[in-house]
Amino acid sequence: MKIEINNLSQVYSNGKKALSDINLEIGSGMFGLLGPNGAGKSSLMRILVTMLLPSAGSVKIDNFDLIKNRKEIRQMLGYLPQDFRFFTKLKTWEFLDYAAGLSGLNQKKVRSAKVDEWLEKVGLFDFRDRDANNLSGGMKRRLGIAQALIGDPKIIVVDEPTTGLDPEERIRFRNILSELSQKDVIIVLSTHIVGDISSGCNNLALLNNGFVEFTGSPEELIAKTKGHVWQVTASGYEYDMLKEKYAVISTIPTEDGWEVQLVGDNIEASNAIEIEPNLEHAYVYYMEHLTNHK
């Protein structure tokens, strides 16, 4: 499976250019869309799920054209919007049953088994008879995840899916996704949290201000940061100076000051030691050194 995005742009009616000439190829497996708030992630996702018509450009999904073949593409999709909300009188299980019906699960018995399976997977089985409206925020989010995935979609688009989940739920959700990514499906996951990307995403795009700044594997992004990450032991005074000049990633207090990790070129500190970059370092380094599209 493959999504091909060509010269895609999105300008809103107020003149805001949310996406500028995006070109991306997304293959099977998990693809991470990483970028700060306002980068254009949700706009791109709304286009992918045929809810927003792009101002320019084209998208092909497995030889279907996003604009000409909406119907076919919609049948392949599972979508969790960033602001997943609902108002319903349905109980939790009924809500999921309804979503399953919409996704084409017509046989009652099969559907009911699926509903139970997904209630279990997202930890809502014990709350199946509760009015969906009365679930907590995190539970509603989990119901959102279940409604997106219950129809076995070939293309899964989840927009900041871990928002509002506690750490345990995040891990559970991550596991659900990595299991799914073993099948022949495409998962597009957006986030502004680097930690959401690190496990399981074989490719990612860095989006900033409507531009794709990087696309490739997490390892490739990390490799670009090699030689630019440093650890310095600094006194309070030195620390203030470092903060002025470089992007500080972490600060740990020690006996004689601070142990500081920072990214930058040519660090001017006598005791700076180069350390191995991780994805968090790479993201900060990349964002700090964008010259074009700030």
Ligand X SMILES: Nc1ncnc2c1ncn2[C@@H]1O[C@H](COP(=O)(O)OP(=O)(O)O)[C@@H](O)[C@H]1O
Chosen from Mg ion, ligand X, none, partner binding at 40 (C-beta under 5 to 8 Å by type): ligand X
Report in angstroms how near the CB of residue 38 gets to ligand X at its nearest: 4
Residue with tokens 């989010």: 141
**Residue ranges in contact with ligand X by CB under 6 A:** 12, 14, 16, 18, 35, 37-43
Does 50 engage in binding with Mg ion (CB under 5 A)? no
Report in angstroms how near the CB of residue 42 gets to Mg ion at its nearest: 3
| Closer of 44 and 242 to ligand X (Cβ) | 44
Q: What's the CA gap between 242 and 269, in Å, rounded?
A: 9
Select the residue interacting with Mg ion from 18, 22, 35, 42 (CB under 5 A): 42
- Per the CB < 8 A criterion, the answer to whether 4 and 23 are in contact is no
Closest CA to 22 of 67, 53, 51, 56: 56
Report in angstroms how near the CB of residue 209 gets to ligand X at its nearest: 8
Q: What's the CA gap between 265 and 243, in Å, rounded?
A: 14
Q: What's the CA gap between 240 and 139, in Å, rounded?
A: 43
Helix, strand, coil share of the chain (percent; to 5): 35, 30, 35
Q: In degrees to the nearest 10, what's the CA dihedral of 281, 285, 287, 291?
A: -170
Q: What's the CA gap between 140 and 236, in Å, rounded?
A: 45
Report in angstroms how near the CB of residue 190 gets to ligand X at its nearest: 7
| Closer of 42 and 103 to Mg ion (Cβ) | 42
Chosen from ligand X, Mg ion, none, partner binding at 12 (C-beta under 5 to 8 Å by type): ligand X
Chosen from ligand X, Mg ion, none, partner binding at 225 (C-beta under 5 to 8 Å by type): none
Q: What's the CA gap between 136 and 92, in Å, rounded?
A: 12
Q: Which of residues 103-162 bind Mg ion (CB under 5 A)?
A: none
Residue with tokens 């076995």: 152
Chosen from Mg ion, ligand X, none, partner binding at 38 (C-beta under 5 to 8 Å by type): ligand X
Please identify, among the stretches 40-48, 92-100, 132-140, 263-271, the one whose residues bind Mg ion according to the rule CB under 5 A: 40-48
Does 82 engage in binding with Mg ion (CB under 5 A)? yes
Interface residues toward Mg ion, by CB under 5 A: 41-42, 82
